[in-house]
């Protein structure tokens, strides 16, 4: 039996690994799908959604202050020592000016009651309801801003992975080409047709290229981790990207000549909402000059007992009922309200100035990003031409070397120039993609 178990153990272990691997969930995302997934799972977005729910609850809380308020109470007292009252002694035939201590009441006292109140008119309450609804609007706009920032971050991370993968493909192609050159040179050296220094140059180039490939491979893994983090998933989850880079489409990107409209920017809209909140704060102080009216009513009943038989239904309880209304009007408070109004006006003026400053800053940001995209596209077109030239130089130098009319030094220099051109090409490609995303954000086109 033991031999059978030892025989089956490797198969059981292998099957367990296979089942565990099958359980790992795999996601396939286009860029829009990745952004949509981030809207549901990214921590900042989820927290902004929670803040929106909190603001909804806050609105309902403030509204509830104007609804009828009802409370109930029950109070039970046990007087271990009844309170003593002093009355003039002359009432009982005593001397004038003297007092007698007499205890009144019963040991056990109970009171049960119900109280109700209703706000009839309170201007501060009305302003508070407006402010709470504006606060809810602010949280909704903050959610929108968080989603926009998340879309931008996910887009950049997504493009970074695509560019890194393309860079890795070219790196592998370079390795294959240089490896063949190394093997060919090694064969020539073994047969005495080239010097050792020629072989050493090729080996050195191959070793450097191999190291660089390993670095690019690790950076690719890191960029994939970053993308998973940006969308809000575990960084070790299997993630397949269904989009691919279209260099031709990027090269032919048309510049957006749209004039900046700051009202489309969520940052401007947020500040406008804050301006409204500040104006409501000013209104809150002003309406304090208006009187308020509150209606109320209460119904209670009490019992006094010398023995603890409070709940004896045969014993009598004594009811009391009252209804009324309170009219309140602050006539003078030492000019405190006037000073608060002055402060609120100054705070509102600061928000107005900040709003104007932000509008100018957002317009400037749009123009800066438009220029950045123009420069990035120009650089990308130049680097693409340089890459084509570098590939042609490598092809010609390799052909000359194979025909015996060129040197391996010329081939190595061509490979080095090609590697640099490839690096510049993909850097400019990523810069163009990022500049395009930044311009769309600056124009308020990311919804």
Q: Residue 96: its pLDDT value, please?
A: 80
Can you tell me the mean pLDDT for 249-254?
A: 75
What gap in Å lies between CA 335 and CA 275, rounded to an integer?
A: 25
In whole angstroms, how far apart are CA 201 and each of 4, 196, 399, 416? 58, 9, 18, 12
What tokens does 355 get? 């709003």
End-to-end CA distance of the chain: 67
Output phi, psi for 312, to 5 deg: -75, 115
Q: Between the CA atoms of 231, 232, 234 and 237, what dihedral angle is there, to the nearest 10 degrees? A: -30
Q: What is the pLDDT of residues 389-442, one digit of tens each?
A: 999 999 999 888 888 788 888 989 999 999 999 999 999 999 999 999 999 999
Residue 14 binned pLDDT confidence (cut-offs 50, 70, 90):
very low
Can you tell me the mean pLDDT for 306-310?
A: 86
Can you tell me the mean pLDDT for 194-201?
A: 89
Q: Which of 197, 173, 193 is nearest to 184 (CA)?
A: 193
Handedness of CA 364, 370, 376, 382 (dihedral sign): negative
Output phi, psi for 39, to 5 deg: -60, -25
Q: Which residue range forms the structural domain that includes residue 259? A: 25-66+122-291+334-442
Residue 10 binned pLDDT confidence (cut-offs 50, 70, 90):
very low
* 85 falls within a domain: no
Which CATH number fits the domain that encloses residue 171? 1.20.1600.10
Residue 198 binned pLDDT confidence (cut-offs 50, 70, 90):
confident
* 8 falls within a domain: no
Domain count of the fold of the chain: 1
Q: Between the CA atoms of 422, 428, 429 and 435, what dihedral angle is there, to the nearest 10 degrees? A: 170
Q: Residue 23: its pLDDT value, please?
A: 57
* 94 falls within a domain: no
Q: Is the pLDDT of residue 37 over 70?
A: yes
Question: Which pairs from 349-357 meet CB under 8 Å and 24+ separation?
Answer: 351/271, 351/274, 351/275, 351/278, 352/275, 354/271, 355/268, 355/271, 355/272, 355/275
Residue found by looking up tokens 């508070």 in the block: 128
Task: Note the pTM of the prediction, 2 decimals.
Answer: 0.82
**Vertex 140 angle, CA 139 and 142, to 5°:** 60
What tokens does 202 get? 């090729």
Q: Is the pLDDT of residue 229 over 60?
A: yes
Which residues does 47 contact at the CB level (< 8 Å), separation at least 6? none
Q: What is the pLDDT of residues 335-378, one digit of tens each?
A: 898 999 999 999 999 999 999 999 999 999 999 999 999 999 99
In whole angstroms, how far apart are CA 345 and each of 341, 351, 353, 356? 6, 10, 13, 17
* 298 falls within a domain: no
Residue 11 binned pLDDT confidence (cut-offs 50, 70, 90):
very low
Q: Residue 259: its pLDDT value, please?
A: 84
Q: Is the pLDDT of residue 304 over 90?
A: no
Q: Is the pLDDT of residue 9 over 50?
A: no
Q: Is the pLDDT of residue 173 over 80?
A: yes
* 41 falls within a domain: yes
Give yes or no for a contact between 282 and 143, defined as CB atoms under 8 angstroms apart.
no
Residue 20 binned pLDDT confidence (cut-offs 50, 70, 90):
very low
Q: Is the pLDDT of residue 255 over 80?
A: no
Q: Which of 134, 135, 133 is nearest to 63 (CA)?
A: 133
Q: Which of 59, 130, 137 is nearest to 281 (CA)?
A: 130
Strand pairing report for 238-241 and 292-305: unpaired
Q: Is the pLDDT of residue 247 over 60?
A: yes
Can you tell me the mean pLDDT for 31-35?
A: 96
* 259 falls within a domain: yes
Length of the chain measured in residues: 447
Share of the chain above pLDDT 70, in %: 94
Give yes or no for a contact between 74 and 111, defined as CB atoms under 8 angstroms apart.
yes
Instruction: State the CB neighbour count (10 A cutoff) for residue 206.
Output: 20
What gap in Å lies between CA 193 and CA 402, rounded to an integer?
A: 12
Q: What is the pLDDT of residues 280-302, one digit of tens each?
A: 999 999 998 899 999 999 999 99
In whole angstroms, how far apart are CA 232 and each of 31, 41, 158? 14, 5, 13
CA atoms within 13 A of residue 312's CA, in its CB half-sphere? 12
Residue found by looking up tokens 């010097």 in the block: 195
33-47, 173-187, 356-370, 401-415: lowest mean pLDDT where?
A: 401-415
H or E element that contains 102: strand 99-103
* 297 falls within a domain: no
What gap in Å lies between CA 438 and CA 11, rounded to an integer?
A: 54
Q: Residue 24: its pLDDT value, please?
A: 61
Residue 21 binned pLDDT confidence (cut-offs 50, 70, 90):
very low
* 252 falls within a domain: yes
What tokens does 224 get? 């994939």
């Amino acid at each position: 039996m033991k031999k059978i178990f030892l025989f089956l153990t490797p198969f059981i272990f292998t099957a367990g690994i296979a089942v565990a691997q099958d359980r790992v969930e795999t996601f396939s995302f286009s860029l829009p799908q990745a952004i949509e997934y981030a809207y549901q799972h990214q921590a900042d977005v989820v927290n902004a959604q929670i803040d929106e729910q909190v603001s909804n609850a806050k609105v309902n809380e403030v509204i509830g202050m104007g609804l009828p308020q009802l409370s109930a109470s029950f109070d039970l007292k046990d007087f271990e020592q009844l309170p003593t009252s002093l009355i003039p002694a002359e009432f009982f035939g005593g001397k004038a000016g003297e007092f007698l201590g007499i205890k009144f009441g019963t040991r056990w006292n109970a009171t049960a009651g119900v109280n109700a109140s209703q706000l009839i008119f309170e201007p501060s309450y009305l302003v508070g309801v407006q402010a709470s609804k504006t606060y809810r609007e602010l949280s909704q706009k903050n959610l929108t801003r968080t989603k926009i920032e998340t879309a931008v971050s996910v887009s950049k991370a997504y493009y970074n992975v695509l560019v890194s993968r393309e860079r890795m493909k070219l790196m592998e192609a370079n390795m294959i080409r240089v490896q063949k050159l190394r093997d060919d040179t090694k064969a020539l050296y073994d047969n005495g047709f080239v010097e050792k220094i020629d072989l050493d140059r090729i080996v050195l180039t191959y070793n450097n290229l191999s190291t660089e490939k390993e670095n690019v491979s690790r950076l690719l893994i890191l960029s994939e981790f970053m993308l998973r983090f940006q969308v809000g998933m575990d960084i070790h989850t299997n993630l397949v990207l269904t989009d691919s880079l279209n260099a031709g489409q990027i090269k032919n990107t048309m510049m957006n000549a749209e004039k900046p409209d700051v009202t489309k920017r969520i940052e401007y809209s947020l500040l406008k909402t804050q301006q409204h909140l500040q104006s409501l704060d000013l209104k809150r102080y002003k309406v304090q000059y208006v009187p308020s009216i509150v209606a109320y009513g209460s119904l209670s009943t009490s019992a006094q007992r010398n023995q603890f038989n409070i709940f004896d239904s045969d014993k009598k309880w004594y009811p009391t009922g009252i209804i009324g209304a309170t009219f309140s009007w602050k006539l003078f408070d030492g000019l405190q309200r006037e000073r608060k109004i002055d402060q609120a006006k100054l705070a509102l003026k600061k928000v107005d100035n900040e709003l104007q400053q932000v509008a100018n800053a957002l317009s400037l940001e749009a123009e800066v990003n438009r220029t950045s995209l123009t420069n990035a596209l120009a650089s990308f077109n130049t680097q693409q031409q340089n890459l084509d030239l570098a590939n042609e130089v490598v092809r010609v130098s390799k052909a000359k070397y194979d025909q015996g009319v060129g040197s391996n030094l010329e081939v190595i220099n061509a490979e080095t120039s090609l590697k640099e051109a490839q690096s510049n090409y993909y850097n400019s490609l990523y810069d163009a993609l990022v500049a395009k995303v930044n311009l769309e954000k600056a124009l308020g086109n990311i919804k």
